Amino acid sequence: MNAIVSVSLLLSALGLPLLLAFPALHTHLPRPIHMALLPAATLVFIPVDFAIELPWFWLGAGLGIDALSRWWLAMSVVVWGVGAAFVPTPAKCDGYNPQTSLLLLFLVGQIGAVLATDMIVFFSFTTLMSYACIGLLLTHGDETTRRAGRIYLVLLILADILLFEAMMMATATTEYLDFATLTKAMTLSESSSFYLSMVIVGIALKVGVWPLHRWLSLSYYSVRPAMALLLWLGPVATGLLCGLRWLPLGELAAPMAGAVLLAIGFTTIFYAMLSVSRVQWKQRLICVFFIATGSFVIGLGTGLIKPALWNQYGDSAHVFIASLGWGLALMTAGLEWFKDEGETSGSSNENLTELSVERWFDAFIRWGGGMGNETLPELRSSWFARCKGLRQKRGWQNTFGTGEYFLQRWSIATTLFILLVIVTLVLLLLDAM
């Protein structure tokens, strides 16, 4: 009986928020996020460990809950309860207000990542969570937050690619996807160091540790504490959970990778402590978030350096993060409670124009936009003329200009010629082989 109730609750913990994410369903409900949270909250109080496999779903989805993930779920429920109570809902403009839908998708992604028992399910839910989080940042009215969202998008793409590659490598070498067997199997794999480095860089990109913290500090400065709390729970805490689940902690001694994590953790704490003196007292909560993240990263690093130590005390990491989450939720609730009416969020001194990466990207697009659509990109004599030293040499311009005209006029002939060259090269290559 317990098992049936638990399975139903497990599925509805994800299904209900997903269903309520449809605007037509949640717009008429009071506090839809809290309602969506009810199955997950009930699941916390059912003391049965179990896992289910949904063979029809992507690669046999694994979902489950055990004593350790129950800590994470309990923390998530409390943090979501507090966060959703204080997150302001912007007024509808033109009947378009995606914030509640995005928050619910964010919730599904985060809870799904906690309940995932294999890599693909974890990766899928964190992807959903991350894009919903970016959507939340971008729909926020403040330019600073939108900028943070854009930075996070770039980091997320890179992180997801790395984690995807790591996941693929793990599957190819060990043939396992579930966390229980994967970490043991990776220990024996020859490519474990490559796997470790990809996972560590992927996590670092996601969780906003120093020096990749810019998006996080930007968003923290400009949103209300309740939203900052949810941002900590989402990308940051789930990124740390990724570390717990994906790294072979307690199985493999990797002093080098561990040292890197220790260095990152300490630097993040150091950065947070330096920042404390520069912000208003109500924004010091942000520094607490950074210190919490840094401490956990140090824990992960220690686990990689000393597996025996992790085996002895590793489970306390889950209790630690849960306590941390509850503490942060309590602090946030206090700050929101005593928040002055009409007080606006702080803002950073960032230059809010385009990101450097966006400027480079735009310049690249403008450059490429001039190529035209022929098989061969049109050779732009003006590009060459822009090069220092060639600026005055009109002869070059004329030469390239004539060449360009010729290529445009004879595009099909040029294509066939290139084809001929390719075929010849292939034949020569085959002959040489």
What are the residues binding other proteins (CB under 8 A)? 55-60, 94, 96, 98, 120, 123-124, 127, 131, 135, 138-139, 146, 153, 157-158, 161, 164-165, 168-169, 171-173, 361, 364-365, 368-369, 371, 373-377, 411-412, 415-416, 418-419, 422-423, 426-427, 429-431, 433
> Smallest distance, Å, CB 418 to other proteins?
4
Minimum gap (Å) between residue 172 Cβ and other proteins: 4
CB of 173 to other proteins, least distance (A): 8
Tokens 């990101």 -> residue: 355
Residues 9, 65: contact at Cβ < 8 Å? no
Q: Is the Cβ of residue 295 or residue 414 nearer to other proteins in the bound state?
A: 414
Nearer to other proteins, 158 or 385 (CB): 158
Minimum Å gap between C-beta 416 and other proteins is 7
Q: Least separation, in Å, of the C-beta of 108 and other proteins?
A: 12
Report the alpha-carbon distance of residue 175 to residue 52 in Å, rounded.
20
CB of 405 to other proteins, least distance (A): 17
Instruction: Please state whether the peptide bond connecting residue 211 to the residue before it is cis, i.e. omega within 30 degrees of 0.
Output: yes
Shortest Cβ distance from residue 136 to other proteins (Å)?
Answer: 11
State the minimum distance, in angstroms, from the CB of residue 298 to other proteins.
30
Nearer Cβ to other proteins (67/161): 161
Rounded to a whole number of angstroms, the minimum distance from the CB of residue 419 to other proteins is 6
Helix then strand then coil, in percent of the chain rounded to 5, is 75, 5, 25
C-beta closer to other proteins: residue 13 or 328: 13
Question: Can you tell me whether residue 63 is helix, strand or coil?
Answer: strand
For other proteins, which is the closer residue by CB, 274 or 371? 371
Alpha carbon 330 to chain centroid, angstroms = 25
d(CA 379, CA 342): 58
Judged by beta carbon, residue 373 or residue 392, the one nearer other proteins is 373
Q: How many Å apart are CA 40 and CA 26, to the nearest integer? A: 18
Q: Can you tell me the distance from the alpha carbon of 335 to that of 250, in angstroms, rounded to the nearest whole number?
A: 38
- Residue nearer to other proteins on the CB measure, 100 or 332: 100
SS3 349: coil
CA 47/CA 117 separation, integer angstroms: 18
Nearer to other proteins, 174 or 302 (CB): 174
Of 11 and 158, the one with the shorter C-beta distance to other proteins is: 158
Q: 189: Cβ–Cβ under 8 A, 6 or more apart, which residues?
A: 170, 173, 174, 195
Per-residue tokens: 106: 């964010």
Long-range contacts at 270-276 (CB < 8 A, ≥ 24 apart): 270/210, 271/210, 271/213, 275/217
Nearest distance from residue 191's CB to other proteins, in Å?
10
> Tokens for 372?
């035209």
User: Alpha-carbon dihedral of residues 42, 46, 49, 51, nearest 10 degrees?
Assistant: -40
Q: With respect to other proteins, which residue has the nearer C-beta, 101 or 302?
A: 101
Strand spans (E) along 215-356: none
Residue 382: CB atoms within 10 A of its CB come to: 10
Residue type, 201: V
